[in-house]
């Protein structure tokens, strides 16, 4: 900062540092950081709201609705309640809207309400390794921050846990302290319900297009077919009724995997652990690490006792920085068991198909759920659905992470890259990099930690293992669609041929009758029987040909998948394309 911008008092402070008595009035070499102070996370995002996706009015409305609906679905699923979600976006004046989001979840306890809505980075999901929509504890509190920043209005929160008491708060965020400012705190007795209602008043712009609030809710209804959602928009009411009465399986919490632990994280865990020995630390704090593997790791890291044996009994806090680095290096050189996958909750083929049928009304639909895989020690699972024709009149590509629609930054997303890298023409689907036929492609990544490219959570990072899994799922679903399409085309071809034969059968029979003297009706019956036999033979021949082509396609896809897998680094060393570029 230039000196010409400083006040007189600041110049005096600077002068004390520049001219120091102990240097006999000579110019000093250190300058005090005048005005320097610690800033809170709330202050940072107040000035950098674009990092959270609040780039413009359209996205602002979308993000607030998204955060509220995501939290509602997470809360209801965790308590095994079939979700009923109500959303209202009301225009108060030009570019000023009231947003109401209400659910039938378990509600929030009174003492937690101000912290959850009034403190950035406050939440229960950041340190918990299980699949959920939220991760960082930023979403809903940043919606409060954006509302008060753009309109100065507080956020209203009404909650009940079903105990007959309803707690109503009006609050803002103290930006400098990153703490809630409670403006109103009321208790209403006697109302018997459970759930949460949030009301935001903010600046924004409402539009209905491919990246709007309405499109987000439509896609949410597809990826959550067990939810009942009502949306009162400025243009009218939209109802997305529940398609199934079955929730996905509940994910379990797991311990971290050593492949996903870096030097700094491991160093902190060693200092914070309650384990008394290094061996106990490794076997109790990480998944799939037993005593045998722990000894192997310590031996490779050269953490040994006087006898040269793995030093299992050393205190974790006594490890030096160089030993921690050696231990992480040993992890990368050791083949470890993959982490457990019961922390994941995929939708499953049935729910994907039901969701797409319910909202898209297609002529054909199919779904694929891949076996779990691992990137950098984090388990993940890819699911794909393809719906064709029916009410679909143009290509539609839907991206999801933990059942949440991703509407922006599609070009930076691993899902889009995987779709464009798939050879769709091989499956009889017209394409120009991306398919151009009337079809909807649904791709879902379920993981305990989705590698988003930014804090706004709009695109998935392009790890090669993730792209490989998406491509394999797309290929499997495309093969099923290819069989359906070839069946339709074959039926059309056979119907056309049969129609031609039948059209001229009578004339041919009459002509033969005049030449041979046989009854024309008998001859026509023989011709029709002969046509049926020949068509049946041709059908059997084409079916055999299709089986050979199907096996060939499957073999090619499997070989391609194995080649990609062989080209992969070890799970602990996987890098995204962005990281490689850096």
Contact 159, 113 (CB under 8 A): yes
> Percent helix, strand and coil across the chain, each rounded to 5?
45, 20, 35
Q: How many CB atoms lie within 10 A of CB 549?
A: 13
Query: Which CATH code for domain 258-332?
Result: 1.10.8.50
Q: Where are the domains positioned within the chain?
A: 56-240, 258-332, 343-582
Nearest to 252 by CA among 336, 122, 373, 339: 339
Contact 151, 96 (CB under 8 A): yes
Q: What is the residue-level pLDDT of the chain in tens, covering all 582 positions?
A: 443 444 444 434 433 433 444 444 444 445 546 667 777 778 887 787 787 778 889 999 999 999 999 999 999 999 999 999 999 999 999 999 999 999 999 999 999 999 999 988 776 655 567 788 866 557 899 899 999 999 999 999 999 999 999 999 999 999 888 999 999 999 998 788 999 999 999 999 999 888 899 999 999 999 999 999 999 999 999 999 999 999 999 888 888 888 888 898 899 999 999 999 999 999 999 988 999 999 999 999 999 988 888 889 999 999 999 999 999 999 989 988 888 888 899 999 999 999 999 999 999 999 999 999 888 878 899 999 999 999 999 999 999 999 999 999 999 999 999 999 999 999 989 998 899 999 999 999 999 889 998 877 889 999 999 999 999 999 999 999 988 887 665 655 556 666 666 677 777 877 887 788 788 788 778 777 877 777 666 666 666 666 655 555 555 555 555 555 454 444 444 455 544 544
Local structure of 570: helix, strand or coil = coil
Element housing 141 (H / E): helix 139-151
CATH topology of domain 343-582: Ribosomal Protein S5; domain 2 (3.30.230)
Nearest to 501 by CA among 539, 543, 530: 530
Compute the distance between CA of residue 377 and CA of residue 217 in angstroms, rounded to an integer: 32
Give the pTM.
0.77
CATH topology of domain 56-240: Heat Shock Protein 90 (3.30.565)
Compute the distance between CA of residue 309 and CA of residue 307 in angstroms, rounded to an integer: 6
Give 215-244 as a DSSP string: HHHHHHHHH-TT-EEEEEETTEEEEE----
pLDDT (tens digit per residue) in 369-417: 999 988 887 889 999 999 999 999 999 999 999 999 999 999 999 999 9
């Amino acid at each position: 900062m230039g000196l010409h911008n400083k006040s007189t008092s600041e110049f005096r402070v600077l002068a004390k540092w520049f001219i120091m008595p102990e240097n006999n009035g000579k110019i000093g070499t250190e300058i005090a950081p005048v005005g320097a102070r610690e800033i809170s996370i709330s202050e940072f995002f107040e000035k950098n709201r674009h990092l959270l996706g609040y780039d413009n009015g359209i996205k602002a409305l979308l993000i607030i609705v998204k955060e509220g609906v995501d939290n509602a679905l997470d809360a209801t699923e965790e308590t095994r309640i079939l979700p009923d979600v109500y959303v209202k976006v009301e225009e108060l004046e030009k570019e000023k809207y009231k947003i109401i989001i209400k659910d039938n979840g378990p509600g929030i306890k009174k003492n937690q309400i101000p912290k959850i809505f009034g403190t950035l980075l406050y939440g229960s999901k950041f340190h918990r390794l299980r699949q959920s929509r939220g991760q960082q504890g930023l979403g809903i509190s940043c919606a409060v921050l954006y509302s008060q920043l753009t309109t100065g209005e507080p956020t209203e929160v009404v909650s009940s846990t079903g105990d007959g008491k309803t707690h109503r708060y009006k609050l803002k965020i103290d930006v400098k302290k990153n703490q809630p400012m409670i403006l109103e705190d009321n208790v209403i007795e006697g109302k018997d319900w459970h759930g949460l209602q949030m009301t935001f008043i903010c600046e924004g712009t409402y539009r209905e297009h491919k990246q709007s609030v309405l499109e987000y809710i439509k896609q949410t209804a597809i990826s959550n077919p067990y939810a009942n959602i009502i949306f009162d928009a400025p243009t009218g009411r939209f109802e997305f009724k529940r398609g199934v009465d079955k929730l996905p399986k509940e994910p379990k919490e797991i311990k971290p995997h050593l492949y996903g632990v870096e030097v700094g994280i491991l160093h902190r865990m060693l200092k914070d652990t309650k384990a008394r020995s290094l061996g106990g630390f490794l076997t109790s704090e990480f998944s799939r690490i037993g005593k045998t593997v722990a000894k192997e790791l310590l031996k490779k890291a050269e953490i040994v006792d006087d006898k040269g044996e793995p030093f299992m009994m050393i205190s974790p806090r006594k490890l030096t920085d160089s030993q921690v680095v050696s231990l992480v290096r040993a992890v990368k050189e050791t083949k470890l068991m993959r982490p457990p996958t019961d922390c994941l909750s995929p939708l499953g083929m049935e729910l994907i198909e039901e969701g797409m049928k319910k909202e898209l009304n297609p002529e054909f639909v199919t779904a694929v759920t891949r076996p779990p895989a691992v990137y950098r020690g984090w388990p993940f699972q890819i699911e794909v659905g393809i719906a064709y024709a029916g009410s679909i009149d143009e290509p539609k590509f839907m991206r999801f992470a933990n059942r949440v629609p991703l509407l922006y930054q599609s070009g930076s997303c691993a899902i889009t890259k995987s779709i464009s890298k798939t050879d769709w023409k091989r499956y009889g689907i017209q394409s120009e990099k991306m398919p151009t036929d009337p079809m909807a492609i649904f791709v879902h990544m379920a993981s305990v930690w989705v590698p988003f490219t930014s804090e706004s959570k709009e695109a998935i990072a392009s790890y090669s293992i993730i792209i490989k899994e998406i491509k394999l799922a797309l290929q499997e679903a495309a093969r099923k669609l290819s069989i359906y399409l070839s069946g339709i085309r074959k039926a059309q071809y056979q119907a056309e041929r049969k129609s031609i034969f039948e059209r001229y059968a009578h004339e041919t029979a009459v002509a033969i009758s005049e030449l041979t003297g046989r009854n024309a009706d008998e001859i026509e019956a023989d011709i029709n029987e002969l046509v049926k036999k020949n068509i049946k033979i041709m059908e059997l021949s084409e079916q055999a040909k299709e089986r050979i082509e199907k096996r060939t396609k499957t073999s090619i896809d499997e070989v391609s998948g194995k080649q990609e897998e062989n080209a992969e680094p070890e799970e602990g060393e996987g890098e995204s394309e962005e990281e490689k570029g850096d």
